[in-house]
Amino acid sequence: MSKKGEDFSKKGLRTSYASTIIGISLVLFMIGLVIGGVIGLKSFEKQAKESLQGDIFFKPQLNDADIKAIELELKLWPELKEVFFVSPERAIQEFGGDGQEAEMLELFDGENPLPPTVGFRPKENYASKFGMESIKSKLLKKYKDEIDEVNFDESAVENVNLGFRQFVILFLSVALLLIVIAVAMINNTIRLSLYSKRFTIKTMQLVGATRGFIRRPFIWQAVVQGMLSALLGLSLLMTVFYGLNNLLDTIEISYTLPNFLLLVGSLLGIGIFITVVSTLFALNKYLRMQLDDLY
């Protein structure tokens, strides 16, 4: 073969290798969007659940000092994410809205009728009707002589949990469909990449090379392809997340270090696993085929 022909062949192999990596990275980018969406949705769900609020109303004989002492004790409860004292002044501000305190006081002849209370927000595991009821029962049992009533919005609690369950089912259904399509696309890309090498594979087999010997370089190549594609897909993903954070004020995408490492590890694992498995299936196909069937 002439030098020009060899250069053309090497250029074609490099182009095929690069196009394979780019194709797989785009598919992994799509899978990364799904995984990132699931992680982000879980974080958003936690924030929504832990923003639910309950209010503790005390008996008239308790003064602010007694109420604040109970507040300090409640801050140690494992069920509660946040506990805060609500003074009568703050209560009327929240009840009447900004700038409406004077009008509210006029309705009650200048006296503030709202008592001091303690508000609380539950941790995610207790942000359900059953969890809030258990917190309420525990409060009334421990402070039966101090607490008059414990209130929380049952409909809000039910809506948060029901809304997220429905959304998660829909999101996971779409995600599963996308992942199936993505895996099929990667498998097809790998098969097309190996199709051009089918004669090389068969020649190695005909001269006595074992299947393990033939598979080894292709498997290592698949591992490298999977890693490079995952890193390229992750770079595209981070670029999209960064762009969304800077272009849209209403969207804030942030991940904790464990979640970020989970995303990176998932893309690397999925990329390597799918490329290796697809390569093995394609190789076994060509190793089983007769020489005449390769044409």
- Residue 98: its pLDDT value, please? 54
- Measured CA to CA, the distance from residue 38 to residue 234 in angstroms comes to 16
Which residues lie across from 150 on neighbouring strands? 56
pTM above 0.75, yes or no: no
- Residue 15: its pLDDT value, please? 60
- For residue 24, the number of C-alpha atoms closer than 13 Å in the C-beta half-sphere is 35
3-state secondary structure of 260: helix
- Measured CA to CA, the distance from residue 256 to residue 172 in angstroms comes to 22
> pLDDT digit string (tens) for 158-198?
887 777 777 777 777 877 787 777 677 777 777 777 777 77
* Residue whose entry in the numeric block shows the structure tokens 């949990």: 161
- Measured CA to CA, the distance from residue 188 to residue 73 in angstroms comes to 62
- Residue 133: its pLDDT value, please? 92
Q: What angle do CA 262, 265, 268 make, to 5 degrees?
A: 150
All domains of the chain in start order, with CATH: 3-47+161-294 (no CATH), 53-152 (3.30.70)
Alpha-carbon radius of gyration of the chain: 31
3-state secondary structure of 99: coil
